[in-house]
Structure 1
Amino acid sequence: MAIQLLLAPAASGKTQHCIERIQTARRDKPLAAIWVILPNAANVAAFRRRLARAGGAMGVWLGTFYALYQELLAENGQLVARLDEPVLYRFLRDIAAQLHADGRLDFFAGIHAKPGFAHALHNSIQELKRARLTPEKLADAVKGRGARLEELALLYAAYQHRLLASNWADGEGQGWLATLALEGNAALARGWRLLVVDGFDEFNPTQLLVLRLLAARAQETLITLTGDPSTSLRSAHPGGDLGRQGERLAHRRFMRARAALASSLTPSVPLSPLLERSSVPGEGRGGRGSGVRRLEPALFQPASDRLPADGRVEFLEAPNRAEEIRAALRWLKARIVRDQCAPGEVALLAREIEPYRAFIEEVAAEFGMPVHLQQGANLAANPAIAALLNLLALELQDWPRRRVVDAWRTPYADWTALGIERGDHRGGDLGRAERLDAAARWGQVVAGYDQWQDTLTRLARAQPAPELDEESAPLVAPTGTHAAALWRKFRQFAARVTPPPRATTRVYATWLEALIGDDPELLSEWQTESDTSLRIVACASAEPATRARDVAALREFKNILRALVFAQTALGPARGAEYTFAEFWNELRGAVEAATYAVPPPDESQTILAASVLAARGLSFRAVALVGLAEGEFPRAPVEDPFLTEADRAMLGLPLRISGDEVTFFYEAVTRATDKLLLTRPYLADDGQPWEPSPYWEHVRQLVDAPVGRVRLDDALPVEDAASAVELRLTPLPHSHTPILANSVGAWEYGGQAGEVVLAARLAAQPRGPYEGDLSALQMRLERDYPAMRPWSASRLETFGTCPFAYFAAYALGLEPRPPVEAGYDVRQLGTMYHAILETLFRTAADPTDLSALLAALPAIANEVFDAAPETYGFRPTALWQRQRAELEAILADTIRALHEASAGWRPLYFELAFGPPPPLLLTGEGRGGGAPPSATGEGRGEGVPPLVLRGDGGEIQLRGYIDRVDVNAAGDLRVVDYKAGSSSISRADLDQGKRLQLALYALALRDALQVGAPAAGLYWHIGSAKASSLKLEKYPGGVDAALQTATAHSLSHASRVRAGDFAPHPPDGGCPDWCPASAFCWRYRPKR
């Protein structure tokens, strides 16, 4: 029953002494029982590796206190199930709901159903249990101290009663039961040869009691603690003041643990004398004389001479967290390559690792470093789980367009049984996910199963129609049999992911398990997956780079499902109760959001640990990079517990949260390194403001004589420090480097130089070069793509005249803007309705100059177009549609009156005159911005009308189009009228600059292509404002012929520049239109003012 307390500074050989003691005990008695208790799973894994390297030892049990509790209970014949956290959270939610229903919750009434309430309550209850504070003791202590504490005691008592009544336990409860088992069974754990307790810096009352009971039975007990043997134990009792004379500031936490051990163990078993520091064998390669080793005794001690760094302690400042991680991982990679460290011998530590997680994963992947994040990741943030949750929420959210399309595109679900491909291209045909999106945009589907049905069935009834005018070109959408097939697939998809409306948790879990599918690694040869399976696990397993991460997340998700089923089964009165899917979904989502998952490393000795400082306590590494030494990060700013304030803790005898332990945590972090240590900090906060350094950074800076490196974003990285191909690409290679190295990075160097060219071009005052629209190198190909016989439209030429780069993006690249889907008509569809109504009105009028007759006929014609407009033109009317119809009819009446007044002496003659070959058919239900106008089969649409041919020094081009209206006067003169739904005025300058060519080109087509006659006049008529633009052909300097010559010259020039590859961006004076397809990436884009 001898107890040894091994007291020595951090990382000075305590664990190695334990291993040697185990080997000695094993040699004496090869089959003797040896038990080793360690703080956490990381320490268990590290101890096991070191024990194996030392030769191993059969029959040595390694584990944490929680694992020890389970072993003791099993040996005592007590089968008490330890519940997982999702089950415990469910218990607490049910308990809180029942107490609230009984009217016994007042203070927590408003928050008891919040998702985070059960999680926070569970943490507080576990802390109370660690302090061995029973519900009865808590109730007595808080009686009369307010509703918050009294209701906390009430919740705690109900929770503990539920566990005891069901013969279940939580982790701390198993510790209570283990102590009772040891006290009640003298034979339990009797005859242990050696008990080793290593790596702890604190012990809770349950652990101390278990240790006292085990130490009285074990033949020998060895406990290690960090500390200074020369410090008197009298200054370290648990209730004593900290920082008193003789006590080292960095050892505060250790001294409390030492005092707690002394007061717990000495009453029953005497302590043997402490081992002196000199008797502890050293470990590590740094040696006591190295900078790292000499730093330990100087930490938080009175000022002394500065220590030489000896190249072993380095400081580095980075502009932000991302660059800080990049620099830290680059330094660790250098330790592996230059110092011959194994990956398992280096570590990346932070006070809290979570803020750095995304940067660590990204940079580690780039550097090719096998980094293992010890802290579990948030389960809900995993891509596979996010995709699965999106699927499950579709029916609850009423089938929103974006989420439905995302579900069809996700790589985590296999829809091939339904014939759904994930946005692939087969024979030039868009994949079904893309066609579904196009259909939804055409039909303005926002959400709702009925909207999907309405849109897809309307498209199924529609037939392919020609694109009448590129100015109002519709989105490509499937029609006919294509849309009918899409609707059939959508119905099958919806049925597959629609859950039962009401069911038990078990039924919902079974349905969801079948949807997820089996793990291929666990399927036997004769097993096959269900027909309803989306093979989510198999899809996640198919990607090698993310397989381990996603499969681990899916397994944890399935564990949660099983825990929820177990919880419902255990609820007694609620057993077998049915819920709506919304209720099940809320519970499942809350459990997922509170859960984490860990990706097991393939070989911990060959992976680099990235962990919080607390998780790495007791571990030792040759090299450590400690990041995040900024103000408020380390030491961490104190946050008070919402359930138990500091005053409550003092009253109840609980450990204070604001206890100054951050100093000890920093001491433990720094002393994890035996050879080399890197300390880093970000000097800019996330908002770009200066970020002050941590006081610990300043403290070590005063202790160690070493320069501070500073990373700047524009600094060139030395080629020998490049840690990845990407960094090498961005590093200028000196001419002195060997040809082998130059050849190996030649492609990367070229890419870096190309990037510099792009950046220089885009920063120039004027656009130039191939990255700013100069595609002259492709002139021969462009001349083949745009031959003389290729028909042009006036709207495309106008687009080029407005901005050549916009033309290149829209027509050469085939890009189109993707505005958010909103109900209601847009400007394009409005213009189409206006055109249809005006054409029908004037074409069918007995006398198109009779204003009264026109206004009398307007309502019937407008209503006919408006009634068919949603289906014909592809928009979803809003609740304001009836009022909008009346307003649009009033606008048309005003424009008819104004046009009648402006047309004195003129009489409408032709409508929608077509010239040139019709455009190719598209998979769309729309014509001119949404459907063929009523006059599609009327006059002027006969095929065989030749195109307008323009010839000049710039070559030859052909044009096609549709002339809205042609008027004639008593003298037989002709006038061209072009309707415009937009309000932007059109002036003579627009024609002079080549931006507005349509009116003049249509007048030229009337004369030369249709050979109707030479026009004497022409105007743009703005329907909404009921007036003509200032540009009129007859008033152009030089008359109509001069206007036609100007339009001809610009058209030939535009076409010639397209063939020459001249697409340099030229933003309009008033700013770029928001519909420009290049707005997201054009460096010259300027929004309209």
Structure 2
Amino acid sequence: PATERALTRAHRELSELEYGQLRALAAQSPRAADVVRIHQQVAADLEAGFSNEQQLSRAAVAAVRADPSAVARQLGPMIVFLPQRITDSQAGLLRAVGEATDTTIVAGATGAEDADAAVVASVGRLGAELDAPARRGGRAGASATVEALSVSDADDEVRHAVRAVVDAARAGTPLGRCAIVYGVENPYVRLISDALDAAGIPRCGATSRTVETSLLGRSLLDMLALRDRGFSRRVVMAWLAGAPVSVRRPDDSSEDADSHRWQAVPSAAWEREARAARVESGIDNWRRRLTRYAEDCTAEADHHAADEEQAWRGDRHRRSAERSLELLGFVEELHADLEPRPAPRTWAELAGWCQKLIQKYLGGRLRRSWPDEERQMAERVDRAVSRLGDLDGTDDEPSVAAFGRALRLELEGAAHRHGHLGAGVLVGPVDLALGVELDLAVVCGMAEGTFPARRNDDALLPDRERLVAGGDLPARADRPGDDHRALLAVVAAAGRSLLLHPRGDLRRAADRSPSRWLTEEAGEAEEVPSFVAGLRRTGFPAHAQEYDTRCVLDWHDARTRTASGWSELAQIPGVRQRPELRRGIELRRARMSSRLTRFDGNLLAGDLRGTVVAHPAGGSETTSASRLEMWAGCPHAYFMRHVLRVEAIDDADDEHRISPLERGSLVHRILERWLAEAIDEGAVPAPGARWPESWRTHLLAVGEQECKRLAARGLVGRRLYWEHDRRQILADLVRFLDFDDEQRARYRSQPVAVELGFGMPHSASGPVRVEIGDGRSMSVRGSIDRVEATPHGGLLVVDYKTGSSRAFEKLGADDPTLGGHRLQLVLYDLAARSLLGIADTADGHGAYWFVSTKGQFSDVGYATNAARRQVLNAVNAIVDGVGDGLFPLHPDEPVWRPWVPCDYCDPDGMGTRDQWRDLQRKRDDPALARYLDLVDPGRERSQTPQRAEEAPR
């Protein structure tokens, strides 16, 4: 695209040259010869059906000379006002008109040789001679006031510019006689536009909005690019999120069954479903993944239908199934529309096809609700598409890709201006203010590198080659002179000028020297040390935000002198009148205190407990071991996940391999299915006996089948990685058989149940009631991976783990819960006894089996009878914490990790330093004592806890 843009610019410039000049230019280098050849070929291809500016000018000259008296009667006297750079074709037309009627040339000269060179040349092309101006030896005329400020960066420049406009307006200057101009567009046009809009000051002139980046422009270009970008989920969803895409839906408010209405697509909901379905790219992938996901969601919905407590999950899964199928239908239709059959074969057909896409997908029926500016730019997009349809005959068979590139170039070149001249502050490059009478001119960017700007040589036609055209090709080296001329003209024409120098560039961490032209015009610039210093010197705030900031600054200065506190901040008028600021101060004060407040997860302190939290031991709530363990790990995560029901969404694009969660589920399914078949057939070996060869072979067969099934669902990552992972899983199954033999021999046990569910959807048994002490009980649900019978009527409860055993190394009889993080073994032991009719006094044992190479085929466990009281004490502490509304964040210590340990503590993945610091400050609050006694019983306690009202700066 960059080369196409450069060739387009070169073609326009070369159109001014005669044949001899083109030959001389082509002789400069092979590259220049290629550029000239392409230019001539394009001109020849377009000559039959199109005319360029030069041809139109020549035709106009011929018409004028054919009947000059008629031209004189129709036009009357002509004034050429402030000519700048004029091409030969433009000069020829003006000369012809000048010969036919009275003509006056009003040319402006500055007295600076470099600045006047282009004007002198243009006047000469018109057949006139510029009166020699007095050579400049000083600053602007006596009638002009020129001031200069040196500020920190471009953002601060714009703040001072807007303040200057506000001060001028308060003094009676009309806004239409004020201008804010600059030498380079980036970053000033956006900063100035945003600042004036924030201040409610009308503006006209340049804008950061372009036809290409308008709502319809960018949406259409992005839609046409979906094909070339493989219909990837990221690209499609980014387009849906930013485009005015609408879909046709039945109109429930109409009695007509065939009535429909158009509404915006649910892009956020579709994004969640596409991620959950693990969609990657390609229409076939969309079909497979979304279809499979819809089937899975429907099955899950049916699975939860019979459980009243889990009915909300069933409803959510059913909605997900409906949305995923709706998304699939939309994507399939979009793909078909972007791959039309038969394909368009002419520019006119391509333009018609594009117009249908706009009408169908991009607000064709809803434009009336768009802002006026967007509707105007949308009309320009429509016209650009229509113009491309006129290119028939220039290309035998244009492609969709060529159409997209041509449309982008067309929209890039479509200049856009905001408002009307005189209706507000003029904003734009400095040459936009030429000839405009101003009372105030503010010039931004007066630093070397931006005014004058650095000019890189043209890659296709450098200046040394352009010289052979005799000045008819503009050189990059001439542009600083144009900028200088425009600056001098604007400063001379304005009653007051303010030149702004940015000392630094925070975007690039660089220092910047004042422009040579600033020194010439204003001498030494007054330095404004900082944003705060600039705010202090402001007599009248430019807008409400600046007023509020100044109020806070005044409060800060007074606080420094009088040591006032947070309460005085709340009395500032700008704060007192805005509830959101008062609440923000309350939140900030609370979080920076040493007390655990409602803003830190202490819902009891905020009197919110009864409205959002059901007590797990209250009789109606059913919980699980993993849910209780989650509270111990991070109460805030428990609150988000199980109270507010906010779930983190995985991003499938980064998963080149099977996820640890899917891998663990796969191994569980393999072992469950294999062992269940062995139990059903009575083929389980006696305690101490090895598995027979037939059942060893059968385990591998089951493993192969489940691996193929998971691969068909698209949940195994890239094929190359999956082949390695699949072999590793099957190898682990072989090792598992030996490990299983060893464990059964060790405990003299024999498996009697697998995936023993209770309280789960479609499980044979309901929730199990567990006595937790103090006369309280709670309903527990779950699914036990494996239960084994041991000698003398005892039992062994097993939970499979496919990850590392590192986090379980300290688990044992001395610490059976690891700070409340491991409760499964005892709770599952109690549930298994209830379900299988095993006495409470019978021996029991619980163990985690690490059934992978990563876990080194090890086991960790303890005797459940001896640990029961200790585990139930931890359960009691957790139940009380939930019931008391205690949900503080408990982030991991902030060290670098290649993963995010808790999506709820670190939702943006930027680390938990601030959250960790807040927790350390509040550790001695009595409200946290029971929680910390559970998870960190050996902690050190501060001897001088911070006062609640203290708030570090």
Q: Where does structure 1 lack aligned partners over 5 or more consecutive residues?
A: 1-114, 229-247, 278-295, 302-306, 421-429, 518-532, 920-935, 1035-1039
Native 8 Å contact 2:439 2:495 kept in 1: yes
Q: Which amino acid aligns with 1:994?
A: G
Q: Which amino acid aligns with 2:22?
A: L
Matching of residues 877-1026 of structure 1 within 5 Å: 878=719, 881=722, 884-904=725-745, 905-915=748-758, 917-918=759-760, 941-952=763-774, 957-985=778-806, 986=808, 987-988=810-811, 991-1007=817-833, 1012-1014=838-840, 1015-1025=843-853
Native 8 Å contact 1:991 1:1047 kept in 2: yes
1:724 aligns with one of 543, 551, 569: 543
CA distance in 2, matches of 1:393, 1:1068: 43
In the alignment, structure 1 residue 838 sits paired with structure 2 residue 671 = yes
Residue deviations 1:180-238 (CA, integer Å, cap 9, x gap): 4445544353356532122234444444444444334334x33222237xxxxxxxxxx
Partner of 1:1021: helix, strand, or coil?
strand
Counterpart residue number, 1:290:
none
Counterpart residue number, 1:595:
413
Partner of 1:838: helix, strand, or coil?
helix
Counterpart residue number, 2:151:
317
1:716: Cα distance to partner? Answer: 6.1
Matching of residues 168-179 of structure 1 within 5 Å: 168-179=50-61
Counterpart residue number, 2:696:
855
1:639: Cα distance to partner? Answer: 2.0
Residue deviations 1:1012-1047 (CA, integer Å, cap 9, x gap): 33452211111213556674223xxxxx34532232
1:809: Cα distance to partner? Answer: 3.1
Counterpart residue number, 1:46:
none
Residue deviations 1:476-529 (CA, integer Å, cap 9, x gap): 575777765665555445445543452222122112212323xxxxxxxxxxxx
TM-score, normalization: structure 2? 0.79
Counterpart residue number, 1:368:
200
Residue deviations 1:15-60 (CA, integer Å, cap 9, x gap): xxxxxxxxxxxxxxxxxxxxxxxxxxxxxxxxxxxxxxxxxxxxxx
Provide closer, same or farther for how the CA distance between residues 485 and 196 of structure 1 changes in structure 2, counting only shifts above 3 A.
closer
Give the aligned length.
850
CA distance in 2, matches of 1:489, 1:152: 45
Provide closer, same or farther for how the CA distance between residues 947 and 323 of structure 1 changes in structure 2, counting only shifts above 3 A.
farther
CA distance in 1, matches of 2:576, 2:317: 39
Counterpart residue number, 1:415:
247
Counterpart residue number, 1:36:
none
2:97 aligns with one of 207, 214, 219: 214
CA distance in 2, matches of 1:644, 1:638: 14
CA distance in 1, matches of 2:503, 2:766: 72
Counterpart residue number, 2:565:
none
In the alignment, structure 1 residue 447 sits paired with structure 2 residue 281 = yes
Native 8 Å contact 1:384 1:540 kept in 2: no
Provide closer, same or farther for how the CA distance between residues 413 and 663 of structure 1 changes in structure 2, counting only shifts above 3 A.
same
In the alignment, structure 1 residue 1062 sits paired with structure 2 residue 889 = no
Counterpart residue number, 2:391:
567
Counterpart residue number, 1:549:
373
CA distance in 2, matches of 1:151, 1:1050: 81
2:626 aligns with one of 791, 795, 798: 795
Counterpart residue number, 2:291:
457
Provide closer, same or farther for how the CA distance between residues 388 and 144 of structure 1 changes in structure 2, counting only shifts above 3 A.
closer
CA distance in 2, matches of 1:678, 1:541: 43
Native 8 Å contact 1:316 1:711 kept in 2: no
Counterpart residue number, 1:1033:
862
Q: Which amino acid aligns with 1:121?
A: L
Partner of 1:416: helix, strand, or coil?
strand
In the alignment, structure 1 residue 684 sits paired with structure 2 residue 518 = no
Identity of aligned residues (%): 21
CA distance in 2, matches of 1:309, 1:1010: 99
1:253 aligns with one of 96, 115, 125: 115
Native 8 Å contact 2:463 2:475 kept in 1: yes
Counterpart residue number, 2:81:
198
1:775 aligns with one of 597, 603, 612: 603
Counterpart residue number, 1:665:
486
Native 8 Å contact 1:129 1:173 kept in 2: no
- Which piece of structure 1 moves more, 862-871 or 797-806? 862-871
Residue deviations 1:626-676 (CA, integer Å, cap 9, x gap): 111222111111221233322223332115432451432332343353235
Provide closer, same or farther for how the CA distance between residues 1050 and 560 of structure 1 changes in structure 2, counting only shifts above 3 A.
same
2:22 aligns with one of 130, 138, 142: 138
In the alignment, structure 1 residue 150 sits paired with structure 2 residue 33 = yes
Native 8 Å contact 2:613 2:885 kept in 1: no
Native 8 Å contact 1:957 1:1052 kept in 2: no
1:863: Cα distance to partner? Answer: 2.8
Give the CA RMSD over aligned residues. Answer: 4.2
In the alignment, structure 1 residue 223 sits paired with structure 2 residue 105 = yes
Counterpart residue number, 2:947:
none
Native 8 Å contact 2:210 2:415 kept in 1: yes
CA distance in 1, matches of 2:320, 2:650: 22
1:507 aligns with one of 349, 357, 377: 349
Provide closer, same or farther for how the CA distance between residues 1044 and 637 of structure 1 changes in structure 2, counting only shifts above 3 A.
same
Matching of residues 401-440 of structure 1 within 5 Å: 401-406=233-238, 409=241, 412-417=244-249, 433=267, 436-440=270-274
Native 8 Å contact 2:143 2:495 kept in 1: no
Q: Which amino acid aligns with 1:189?
A: V
2:580 aligns with one of 751, 755, 770: 751
Provide closer, same or farther for how the CA distance between residues 610 and 807 of structure 1 changes in structure 2, counting only shifts above 3 A.
same
Native 8 Å contact 1:227 1:255 kept in 2: no
1:894: Cα distance to partner? Answer: 1.0
Native 8 Å contact 1:446 1:823 kept in 2: no
Provide closer, same or farther for how the CA distance between residues 157 and 1007 of structure 1 changes in structure 2, counting only shifts above 3 A.
closer
CA distance in 1, matches of 2:100, 2:878: 97
CA distance in 2, matches of 1:945, 1:256: 89
Matching of residues 330-369 of structure 1 within 5 Å: 330-336=163-169, 338-369=170-201
Partner of 2:496: helix, strand, or coil?
strand
Partner of 2:71: helix, strand, or coil?
coil
Native 8 Å contact 2:178 2:438 kept in 1: yes
Matching of residues 798-837 of structure 1 within 5 Å: 798-821=629-652, 822=655, 825-837=658-670
Native 8 Å contact 2:292 2:713 kept in 1: no
CA distance in 2, matches of 1:693, 1:998: 70
Native 8 Å contact 1:322 1:359 kept in 2: yes
CA distance in 2, matches of 1:126, 1:162: 15
Q: Which amino acid aligns with 2:33?
A: E
Native 8 Å contact 2:11 2:39 kept in 1: yes
Native 8 Å contact 2:367 2:375 kept in 1: yes
Matching of residues 673-712 of structure 1 within 5 Å: 673-702=494-523, 707-712=526-531
Native 8 Å contact 2:203 2:425 kept in 1: yes
1:729: Cα distance to partner? Answer: 4.0
Native 8 Å contact 2:88 2:125 kept in 1: no
Partner of 1:975: helix, strand, or coil?
strand
CA distance in 1, matches of 2:519, 2:398: 58
Counterpart residue number, 1:123:
9
Q: Which amino acid aligns with 1:515?
A: L
Native 8 Å contact 1:837 1:861 kept in 2: yes
Q: Which amino acid aligns with 2:530?
A: V
Counterpart residue number, 1:6:
none
CA distance in 2, matches of 1:768, 1:810: 21
CA distance in 2, matches of 1:865, 1:325: 64
Partner of 2:212: helix, strand, or coil?
helix
